[in-house]
A and B are shown apart, each in its own frame.
Chain A
Amino acid sequence: MRLSRINNLLLALIILINGYIIAGPFVPGLLFHWQSHSGQRQALQRKIHSPATSLPPQPNAVIIPSMLLDQPILEGTIANQYKTLNNGIWRWPRGSTPDHGGNTVLIGHRFTYTNPRGVFYFLNKVKMGDEIGVVWNNKSYTYKVASINEVPPTDTAIENQSAQPELTLFTCTPLWLPKDRLVVVADLETKP
Chain B
Amino acid sequence: MSEKTKFWVLLVLLLLSIALALILNTSFNKVLLSS
Contact = CB atoms under 8 A, between A and B. Distances in A.
Given A3-B3, A10-B11, A172-B28, A154 B17 contact: no
Interface residues of A, number: 32
Contact of A21 (B20, B27, B32): B20
Given A3-B4, A10-B14, A112 B33 contact: no
Most chain A beta-carbon neighbours within 10 Å: one of B3, B31, B34: B31
Interface residues of B, number: 22
Interface in A25-54: none
Contact of B17 (A21, A82, A107): A21
Interface string A93-113: 000000000000001011111
Contacts of A14: 10, 13-14, 17
A114 interface: yes
Contacts, number: 70
Given A20-B21, A21-B21, A153 B34 contact: yes
Interface in A96-150: 107, 109-114
A113 B18 contact: no
A162 interface: no
B21 to A, nearest CB: 6
Nearest to A109: B32
A7 B28 contact: no
Contact of B33 (A4, A10, A11, A82): A82
A181 to B, nearest CB: 7
Contacts of A154: 34-35
A172 B14 contact: no
14 contacts: A7-B6, A10-B11, A14-B13, A14-B17, A17-B18, A21-B24, A81-B33, A85-B32, A85-B33, A114-B25, A153-B31, A153-B34, A178-B28, A179-B31
Top 6 closest pairs, chain A to chain B, by CB: A10-B10, A153-B34, A113-B25, A17-B17, A3-B3, A172-B32
Interface of A: 3-4, 6-7, 10-11, 13-14, 17-18, 20-21, 81-82, 85, 107, 109-114, 153-156, 159, 171-172, 178-179, 181
